[in-house]
Amino acid sequence: MNGREREFSHAFEEYSDELFRHCALRLRDRERAVELTQECFLRTWDYIQKGHTVEQMRPFLYRTLRHLIIDEYRKKKSVSLEKMVEGTEGSVEDMLPPDESNTLERAIERFDGERVLEALTRLPEPYRESVTMRYVDGLSPQEIASILEESENVISVRVHRGLKKLKEMLGPDEPQKND
């Protein structure tokens, strides 16, 4: 295996799960997310095979996947995003890695996480995309800026405003009881 194949294989092992989760959250269709994630890697491999150089693999993969997701949205332009969300067979929980713990604390965390992810689907674009990439995918503002071809400042503002809107959607925190 040569250096390019080794680098690509490492990138697949390292990023395929997170790219799939990102795609599944954006599309709300598990099977289609698998297909687009595979297509993302195929297109990247074709690009490399044509002699092109990929400076930063992770942002390149996200940018490629983002374009595939946009194309997918365009294909289904007549169907509203709300109907896509309503029409899903699975839940947000199906897209997350399984949790083997069975503690009350973990159950509360899962419930809160599920509630936040559901609210995230209602967050307007481009805030949803930026917040998802930052907190679900764990990308830095610099990486997100590279993927979305925006300035790092624009991304930071989107994330900040997206979090503010998300907090408003989730409602105020319950007041703490003083005993």
Same domain for 2 and 67?
Answer: yes
Spatial distance between the Cα atoms of 13 and 15, rounded to a whole number of angstroms: 6
Looking at residue 24, its pLDDT comes to 87
Looking at residue 28, its pLDDT comes to 78
Q: What is the DSSP string of 57-112?
A: HHHHHHHHHHHHHHHHHHHTTTS-HHHHHHT-SS-HHHHSPP-----HHHHHHHHH
Same domain for 107 and 63?
Answer: no
pTM of the predicted model, to two decimals?
0.58
Looking at residue 39, its pLDDT comes to 95
- What CATH number does residue 14 fall under? 1.10.1740
Same domain for 115 and 147?
Answer: yes
10-residue stretch averages of pLDDT, the chain, 179 residues long? 86 92 85 93 93 90 91 66 46 48 54 72 85 84 89 92 86 52
Looking at residue 20, its pLDDT comes to 92
Same domain for 73 and 109?
Answer: no
Range of the domain at 20: 1-78
Same domain for 105 and 72?
Answer: no
Residue 123 DSSP one-character state: S
Taking the CA atoms of the chain, what radius of gyration do you get in angstroms? 18
